[in-house]
């Protein structure tokens, strides 16, 4: 299994950087064709929704609610949604304290907590450094996917 980070979901749809868009799409298509089990968490889709519906001038995608909902449905045809569980929060809390995580980085820590609970050790992400701090997590940049 490999988790798909929000940066990939957003990157696959954004239009301001064609290289990022192409890399995100290529990576997902390649993993899908290799029959790799791609997963994500509710947190990823909430983050995607936030960026997708934010105006472009505010670093969003400027999509309507209906467009965003359609993209989420499309993602879920190729990416399996793993459930929230009560065990995620205490793992997240430990991760934030052990790694001294605050601010916007708490969201990635929550993804890692979800990965830990669901025994997913790899994540496809443009943010290799952000996930690289966590023991047992391997971050794979889209350019590494063949």
Whether 107 is covered by a domain: the verdict is no
Whether 12 is covered by a domain: the verdict is yes
Q: Where would I find the beta strands (DSSP E) of the chain? A: 2-4, 38-40, 80-81, 122-124, 138-140
Whether 140 is covered by a domain: the verdict is yes
Per-residue HEC secondary structure of 87-108 comes to CHHHHHHHHHHHCCCCHHHHHH
Whether 54 is covered by a domain: the verdict is yes
Whether 105 is covered by a domain: the verdict is no
Name the residue range of residue 134's domain.
2-84+120-144
Q: How many domains does the chain have?
A: 1
CATH code of the domain containing 7: 3.40.50.1010
Centre a 10 Å sphere on the Cβ of residue 64 and count the other Cβ atoms it contains: 10
Q: What is the pLDDT of residues 32-81, one digit of tens each?
A: 999 999 999 999 999 999 999 999 999 999 999 999 999 999 999 999 99
pLDDT at 96 over 90: yes
**pLDDT score of 39:** 98
Whole-prediction pTM: 0.95
By CB atoms closer than 10 A (0-12, 13-18, 19+), residue 144 is: exposed
Measured distance CA(27)–CA(9) in Å, rounded: 11
Averaged pLDDT of the chain? 96
Sheet arrangement for strand 2-4: 80-81, 38-40, 2-4, 122-124, 138-140
**pLDDT score of 23:** 97
Whether 93 is covered by a domain: the verdict is no
pLDDT at 129 over 90: no
Measured distance CA(135)–CA(73) in Å, rounded: 32
């Amino acid at each position: 299994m490999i988790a798909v980070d929000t940066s990939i979901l957003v990157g696959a749809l954004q239009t301001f950087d064609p290289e990022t868009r192409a890399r995100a799409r290529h990576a997902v298509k390649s993993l899908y064709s290799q029959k790799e089990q791609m997963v994500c968490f509710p947190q990823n889709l909430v983050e995607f929704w936030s960026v997708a519906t934010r105006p472009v001038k505010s670093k969003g995608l400027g999509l309507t609610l209906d467009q965003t909902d359609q993209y989420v449905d499309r993602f879920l045809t190729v990416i399996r949604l793993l459930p929230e569980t009560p065990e995620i929060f205490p793992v997240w809390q430990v991760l934030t304290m052990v790694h001294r995580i605050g601010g916007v980085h708490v969201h990635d820590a929550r993804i890692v907590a979800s990965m830990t609970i669901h025994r997913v050790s790899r994540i496809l992400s443009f943010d290799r450094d952000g996930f690289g701090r966590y023991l047992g997590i391997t971050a794979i940049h889209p350019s590494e996917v063949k």
